[in-house]
Each structure stands twice: as C-alpha cells, then as structure tokens.
Amino acid sequence: MKAAEGKLTVIAHVACNNTADSKELAAHAESLGVDAIAAIPPIYFHLPEYAIAEYWNDISSAAPNTDFVIYNIPRLAGVALTMPLFREMRKNPRVAAVKNSSMPVQDIQMFKMEGGEGFVVFNGPDEQLVSGLAMGADGGIGGTYAVMPELYLKIKELTDTGKVKEAEELLTRFKGKAQQENAERILPNIDTFLVRCALYDADKAAIAKWLAQAPDEELIFSIYDRFHYITKVRVYLQNGRNEQAYHLLLKCAYYAKVMQRTYIDIEVKLLLAITQYRMGEKKWDETLGEALTKAEEYHFVRIITREGAAIRPLLQATSWKPSEVEKDLAQTRKNKQFWAKVQDETEKMARFYPAYLKVGVEEVTLSDTMLRILKLQADGMSKEKIAAELNMTIANVKYHTQQIYKRLGVSNKAGAVMEAGKRGLI
C-alpha cells in the first residue's frame, strides 16, 4: 500500500470459503487502507439469493469504512448476479461497483442503468474489453491488462473517442499475441467480437470464415455460447437465411425467459421482429412493440439503435408509440425523448453503416446428385421413388436431402424447392 499510495487504486479480493475468514480478511484490508474490497459469491453450494446477500453484507460490515465491489463471475462461481439480488445489494451504501465477468456484455449496461449516477462497472473478460467499453463500462479488471497496459489503455482511448475501427485493429493484434501465448480459451470470443465489426462493414470473407467455425446449434445448444448464437443470427440474416435465424432465435428466447435475462430478451425480440418482417409475417409489429416497451422501461437506447439499417424500416412502419403515463407528465416526456433518441441514433447508424445486415444471397453449391434429387422433389416424387429412379438407397437419399436443406438454410422439402427456385438452381 505504501508503494501504491497516490498512484494506483487498490481493490483487495477477500472472499473465502466461509464468512468468518472473509470478514477477517476484509477487516485486515481496511486496516491497510485499501480503496475497496471485493468478493465473489459463495461457490460450490448454490445458495438462495438472500443467503448470498447476507454473506456479502456480512463481509462489508467487517470493513464499514471501505467501498465494496461485487464480483460477478457466473461461469466459475456457479451463480449469477441477478437484477433482484443487485437491487438488494444496492441498499448497502458501501456497494460502489461491480466487476462483471459474465460473457453477455449487455449485463454491463443493465448494471450501469440500475446502479445510477456514479456507480462503477468494470469489464472483466480481457477479450471483450472493446464491447464492454462500448456498453458503458468505466474500465476493466483482467489478467492481461497488467502485462499489456499500453495496449488496453489505447483501446479504451480509441473507444472513448468513437474510433472503433482502430480499436478493432488493436484487438486483432491482441488476438495474435494470444495465439503466440497459446491462450486458446479466449480466441473464440475475440473472433466473435471481430465478426460483429465485420457485419457493419459487410466483410463477407471474414463473416463466412467465422461462420464455418461457429458453434452448431443443431448439434448442441449450450448457454455458454449464447453470445456466439446471437451473432450467428445476424450472420444468417445478412445471408438471407431467415428461417435458420428464426429457429435459432426461438432457442435463445427460451433461454432468456427461463433465466430471466431482460437484456437478452429485448435483443432477441428485436432480431426476431427483423426476421419476421423479412419473412413477410405480420406479427413483426407485435414482437417489435414488446421489445420497444421493455427497452423504454429501462431506457435502453443503444440495444435498438445499433441495429441501424436493419431495423430502420421497422421503426418507420411500426404502430408502436411511446407510453403516456397518466398524471406523470415528466415520465411521459421522458418516454417521448427516448423514442426521439432511438429514431435519431438509428438514422445515424444507418448512414454510417448502410450495408449492415443488408441481405445478400450467399452462394450455394450443390452436387449433381443433390440437384437431381431436388428436381425430382420439385416434381412431387417421394424419397422411395427418388431412390428407385436414381438407383440409390433410401438412406442415401435422406442423407443428401438433409445436406440440401442445410446448404439452402431451410428445414423441409417445400422450403428447399422454393429457395432453389429463387436461386435458379432448378
């Protein structure tokens, strides 16, 4: 502490496997004059939220004159900092910050909004610093920040001044460093953040390369890959594979509902509305309305406006209107300001990135056998008759049929025939 005095902010992590030891460490840290103490939730046993709050508050009480930082790291701790638990902890005036190491960067914005003015949120995962800062993180606490401070300080400076493309280039350099150091665990997340940038620039080569190695939701749907899945939805939309986007969104929507992830629920509904709009389904307006109502409640603007050119036609055509609160003119005025800001910033994003999620037909190659099967399907022949016609086994016809569906981004024969017709394949 003597060496750091006046130069660095020192936050001491004090959580142990029992409350007594944690309190002892907290008191010791305060006696040394640290700027704040931090603690993860109790691990191993999945305790109810009231018990987690009691654990944290007991630790804080042992250092009554020191700020407390909640360390949210659900993947390793086994429990997440939910909004109800966060609100309960905010009753403690010493709770001043959250270090957020959950992979959805949307959590950062939720904690910032709920925490209010002056509340600090740190981005945790090193590989998502750019996105975390874009979501409103005040800074970052991570492993490689300490060994490459110049790199991360430059990334923060560029992000703060709107130079995201240059920040992306630095992130690419970091990826190279991670590869050199065999830090394989963080590479998929870096790649996904980079492809999100590529979507704005419509960099088809980068998008196609990422898609080839992205998690396959048809094999297994893992909640830990949810950020990759939602990115994949955007890639599907840009490739015109609306049906695949739709089915993947339904899985993501179920996760958001069960886990009560408000931000993800809003994001999924926005993308679902775009998908339904492109599929010609009238329900898009209802879906969009649900997303806008929830976003209005939290005053989440960026989650909408970052969809730019993709969502602009929906915002122009929707029947949704900002809520008018009876006997609360101030809230009504705030809601109208929210809607005006959404429209204004969406226009700006659409001008900056006009090709974002613009539908482009992805080139599809089918083998001669696949084309013959497809043409016979278009003639109304069954799998059994196709097998006899082409001197193939029924199992072989089924295999080729599934490959056809996968390459065309459809789920049935009617969809395959329609999509092949659009592409001039039959």
Which residues are tagged catalytic? 71, 99
C-alpha distances (whole Å) from 3 to each of 6, 8, 9, 124 are 9, 9, 11, 25
229 neighbors 264 (Cβ within 8 angstroms): no
129 neighbors 142 (Cβ within 8 angstroms): yes
- What CA–CA distance (Å, rounded) separates 402 from 94? 58
- What CA–CA distance (Å, rounded) separates 422 from 415? 11
Beta strands 120-123 and 11-13: pairing type? Answer: unpaired
259 neighbors 268 (Cβ within 8 angstroms): no
- What CA–CA distance (Å, rounded) separates 417 from 426? 8
- What CA–CA distance (Å, rounded) separates 410 from 37? 53
71 neighbors 38 (Cβ within 8 angstroms): yes
59 neighbors 15 (Cβ within 8 angstroms): yes
Residue 311, classed as helix, strand or coil, is helix
C-alpha distances (whole Å) from 21 to each of 37, 69, 160, 202 are 14, 18, 40, 53
DSSP assignment of 51-81: HHHHHHHHHHHTSTTSEEEEEE-HHHHS---
Residue 140 DSSP one-character state? E
Bridge partners of 80, per DSSP, are none
378 neighbors 259 (Cβ within 8 angstroms): no
Residue 415's nearest CA partner among 273, 243, 251, 262 is 243
C-alpha distances (whole Å) from 194 to each of 1, 188, 271 are 39, 10, 20
Place of tokens 């401070």: 149
